[in-house]
Structures are given as structure tokens and as C-alpha cells.
Amino acid sequence: MKDPDSPQPETGSPPGETPLILPPRKHGLMARLRTYFFTGLIVAAPIGLTVYITTWFVDLVDTWFVPLIPAQYQPDRYLPFDIPGLGLIIALVLLTLLGALAANFFGQALLALTERIVERMPVVRSIYSALKQIFETVLSQSNNSFREVALVEYPRKGSYTLAFITTSIRTDLPGLAGREMIGVFVPTTPNPTSGFFLYMPREEVSVLDMSVEDGLKMIVSMGIVEPGPKKLPKNGKSKP
């Protein structure tokens, strides 16, 4: 005989009536189809976009360099199909030959002459000088710029964002003589090709144990793709 004072299981029905037993909730067909659709989208979108961007880039380079081949020597005159990537191969060969030419005495003299001519053009010289410095900095194997990711307090106190260290410590900035300042590039999201260049005090720049690739992934994904716990600041202090 049950104790009337013992707690009774909740059935959702008033006392004295037949208990209403709720069946377990089942996922409907539309919910499963929606899950399958988003799963397929997550799988297919990166592959499709990668193929599309790669194909677009190869076709663009082909339109630039394939016309350099004389018409009578172009492969499509002898083959029943086009050769995708032929322009890319030509570009690699030409750039390698250009680099070899610029490495010898004759190439250096020719390059110096060309730069002297460019320096006499008011607008062109500024564009050429800026682009040259950027490419030399980014592609130089002996330079440490764009190699470290840091955490800086920006755009206001109490909020932090990722930044890339672009310069070494400087103590000779006008008006800041004696203070250790570091140049950092703060990119925008999701487009990291634009942003702001800032000089910040050394003690306010916390270097992260994070690769540049992981930092770019985090910026492009707007923080959705996060690195592991080991990517936290090194004791919360900036790197000497």
C-alpha cells in the first residue's frame, strides 16, 4: 500500500485523473534534412571555394602570359584541348630568369638605371618605392617582420585585439625619445588586408604563442576558428 504522503511523480495531469504520459520528443524529418544540408554545406563550401579561387587565379595568369607565346607555337594549335596552367608555368620561368638576371652585375646595373629613371617621375616613384619596400619586407627570408602575433589593447581601454608585429623595438621616435616602442599592424576583420599601423609601448604588446597562419584564420573567421589553449600570451608579458 502506497504512502499518501510520499512524493508522487509529475505526470502533467491534475490529481485523481489518468496520468498523461508524454511520449519522447522525436526529431522530425525537416530537422534531420536541415542538419544534413548544413553538414553538406560545411563540407562542400571550403572545397568549392578553394577550387574556384585556384581556377580563377590560374585562368587570370594564363590570360596574361599565354599571349606572349607566338601564335604558331601555342599548344592549342596542335592539341585538341587547352593546357590549363600554362601561363603559370611561363610566369614561374620568367620570374626565375629575371631573378637570375638581377643577381649578376649586368642585371644590377640595369636595375639601378631603371630605378633612377623611376625616381624622376613624381607620382610613380612614390608608388614604386612603397611597393618595393612592402615586397622586400614580406618576402625577405632574413627579416622577422610579420612573423609574430601579439595581443594589444585596441580600440579602447579594456578591449583587446590581435595584431602583427612589423618592426623591432625603437627608442628614437620623435617626441618619445628613450621610450621603447614597437610597430604593430592591427588588421580588420574579415578582411586582413586593411587595417591600422600603430606604434605602441613595448610593455603593452603581449606576444602570443601563435603562428601567423593561426592569427589570420582567427581574424578571417571573426573569432569562430580559435587556436588551442597553448596560444595564450606568454605569462601575459611582451617578448623582449
Region 45-52: mean pLDDT is 90
Q: How large a percentage of the chain has pLDDT more than 70?
A: 79
Cα distances (Å, whole numbers) of residue 174 to 84, 182, 199: 54, 14, 12
The residue ranking higher by pLDDT, 79 or 208, is 208
The residue ranking higher by pLDDT, 222 or 147, is 222
Region 47-75: mean pLDDT is 87
Question: Quick one: cell of 122?
Answer: 613624381
Query: Quick one: pLDDT at residue 238?
Result: 44
Band of pLDDT at residue 28, cut at 50, 70 and 90? confident
pLDDT digits (tens, 9 = 90+) for 187-216: 988 888 789 999 999 999 999 988 888 888
Give the strand pairing for 148-153 and 181-187. Answer: unpaired
Domains, the chain, ranges and CATH? 148-231 (2.30.30)
The mean-pLDDT minimum among 25-29, 75-79, 146-150, 212-216 falls in 25-29
Band of pLDDT at residue 236, cut at 50, 70 and 90? very low
148 has a pLDDT exceeding 50 = yes
Phi-psi region of 146 (alpha: psi -120 to 50; beta: other; left: phi over 0): left
Quote the longest CA-to-CA distance of the chain.
Answer: 109
